[in-house]
Amino acid sequence: MPTPGFTDLPLSTDIVSVAIGRWAVAAAPVKIRTLLGSCVGVVLYDRVVKVGGVAHIVLPDAREAVDHPGKYADTAIPGMIVDFDQRLGGNARSRLVAKLVGGARMFQVPSAKDTKAGLNIGQRNQEAIERILAELRIPILARDLGGEAGRRMTLDTASGMITIKVPGGAEYEI
């Protein structure tokens, strides 16, 4: 049975696309790509065996929701680590490092209604993700967060580098 939240990988592909609320784990030389707006992309990478994962996280916590584990930081990150363990025979966490991308804010929540929910989801996601990674003792090597524009990010599992493109801008790496 497929792992909920996991993007099914074709047998042979150079680039895997991760949709909103999903994650994928792959080995070199596969590249993993996702398009981010206000969501945060969490990248986990094992530099020794060159296996990487990308989760496209929408919200900080699942609050007992079980149907879409890829959507929430507190279910997607552990779910991704389970996939690493399955690939690598267990205990992958000790070698993992992380990078964070996204969390932009373009639209304001309408001011007349419901000012709490949705307000600065990007920041709330970042705080939750950093807390979870700290609890798991996974160091965060780089961040490219905030701003007001979308980002297309691509993880190269061969190097662990992330290439980022914003509309109208040149590509850069973190």
Partner 1 sequence: MGKILTEVQRHLLRMIFDRGAEGASLALSKWLGRAVSLTVSEVEITELEQAAELLGPADSLVAACSMELTGRLTGWILLVFEDRSGLALVDMLLHQPVGTTTAWGEIEQSAAKETTNIVGCAYVNALAAHLPATLTRGTAPIRQAESDGSDLVPTPPTFFHEFAGSLLEFALMEQAIELDQVLLIRSEFEAYRRESNLDWTLLFVPTRESLRELIAALAQLELH
Name the residues annotated as catalytic.
Answer: 39
Distance CA 102, CA 126 (A): 9
CA distances 172 to 13, 52, 61, 161, Å, are: 23, 19, 30, 10
The interface with partner 1 within residues 110-149 (CB under 8 A) comprises 110-114, 117-118, 121, 149
Select from 21, 41, 53, 79 the one that contacts partner 1 (CB under 8 A).
21
Nearest to 72 by CA among 42, 94, 97, 92: 42
Closer to partner 1 by CB, 41 or 160: give it: 41
Closer to partner 1 by CB, 24 or 138: give it: 24
Q: Does 19 bind partner 1 (CB under 8 A)?
A: yes
Determine how many CB atoms are found less than 10 A away from the CB of residue 10.
8
Place of tokens 């780089």: 142
Task: Give me the residues that bind partner 1 (CB under 8 A), please.
Answer: 19-22, 35-39, 58-59, 67-68, 71, 104, 106-114, 117-118, 121, 149-152, 167-168
